[in-house]
Structure formats: structure tokens, C-alpha cells
Structure 1
């Protein structure tokens, strides 16, 4: 995949009832226009390119410990278990797609998660 922002945008925008708008000066994706699940981070608080996202409990600690060159604890939201993913390294886009879907599942209403699951089963 080419441009990391466009690749991330495609993954997020493919999910049910997702909207994008700027938040804190960065592209950010919301479920039903309200709940943030992914925030782009273009050198936002450091010299790195990446994104921050909601994550299931324990995921941040596991991935950061296993691959600190690819994952990090983001500022501000890291204490809530959010995961940071670097995009300025070779990116495993199928894995990032799973991470984005997990983030969506953490904040989306059950009816939208069910809609996502039924679309994937089809």
C-alpha cells in the first residue's frame, strides 16, 4: 500500500457508520460521529509517523513488549490501554486491518459490531 494515511483511511472508512474529521489537527475516525477509535499521528508528539487506536485490554502491553519497533504507548490515551502503531517502518497492513477492526469493536455499539460480523461472514 502506498501512502500510509490513505491506506489507514481506507481501512477505517470501510467500517459501518464511520466518519472522518480533524481532531487536534490530525485526521481522526469516529463511530456515528461521536466515539473516536483511530487517530492519525503525523509527527504529532514526536518525530514519528503512526496512529493511536482503542485496543482490547492487555493488547497494548503485549504488542509493545513483543515489538517496540512497531508499537508504542501513546501519550494522553495510553493509560486507558490505547495502542500506538508506527507507520514509518515496514507495515504489515493485514495486521493493521485487524488492529483497526479491534479498535472499532471497542467503541462501536453492539448493533454495528454485529453488522460488521455479518458482512465478514458473507
Structure 2
């Protein structure tokens, strides 16, 4: 098992089409067409990920509370927090891709399916 780390986040996020890295709240953030889809949290080893809806974020946190969680700070927002040490690299790639798809323009998503 190869657990994910912050280097994997950067490598995988920047491999997604039209993704750029830009600071967000003082930490590295990853954007597609200047829309944030993931950012490294202030707390080491934690990644904030955009989800399709608030309900989806809550469901993911309930389904796998070891790897994913939410805090009161994200109440009302479609974000979930991920513990990188609890994710394998392929799982990280999957949730980053899902986050990217939420924010990417439809034409870009269709072009890269």
C-alpha cells in the first residue's frame, strides 16, 4: 500500500487538464479555469476537496470517516477534508479528478473523457 502525500497531491492535480497552482488561504490551491477544486489545508496531511454538493460531501464523510471528514468551518459548503495518510495514491487520484470535474467547464470535461 502506497499512501498519498502532499507531493502526490501536487503531481496528480497538476496533471489534470488546464490546472494551475495558486495560493488559497495561504496554502497551495489547485484550480481549473481559476475555480478552486482542491487545496492543502493549514493542518499538515489534510486536503480540502470540492464535491458536487453539500450532501455528497456529507455522505462521503459518513461512508469513510477514517479517510474523510468535515468540520463546522465547511458547514454550508460542498467541501470534504481528506486525511492523506489514509488514502492510497489511486484513491487520491480519483477524488482529485472528481473535484476537478465539478469545477471544470463542460467543454473541457467532454474534451478529456
How far 1:76 sits from its partner (Å)?
Answer: 3.9
Report the Cα distance in structure 2 between the residues aligned to 1:90 and 1:17, rounded to whole angstroms.
28
Q: Greater Rg, structure 1 or structure 2? A: 1
Q: Which residue of 1 aligns with 2:62?
A: 65
Q: Deviations over 1:11-64 (max 9, x none)?
A: 1101111100212110001112x1100011141xxxx52111111233312221
What is the 5 A alignment of 1:68-107? 68-74=65-71, 76-87=73-84, 89-107=85-103
Runs (4 or more) in structure 1 with deviation over 6 Å come to: none
Aligned pair count reads 111
SS of the equivalent of 1:60 reads helix
Tell me the distance in 1 between the aligned counterparts of 2:75 and 2:81: 8
CA contact (8 A) 1:72 1:85 kept: yes
Q: What's the TM-score, normalizing by structure 1? A: 0.79
What is the aligned-residue RMSD (CA, Å)? 2.0
Unaligned runs of 5+ in 2: none
Q: TM-score, normalised by structure 2?
A: 0.85
Q: 1:114 aligned to 2:95?
A: no
Tell me the alpha carbon deviations over residues 65-88 of structure 1, each in whole angstroms, 9 at most, x when there is no partner.
12212101155444222111111x
Report which structure shows greater RCO (CA 8 Å, sep ≥6).
2
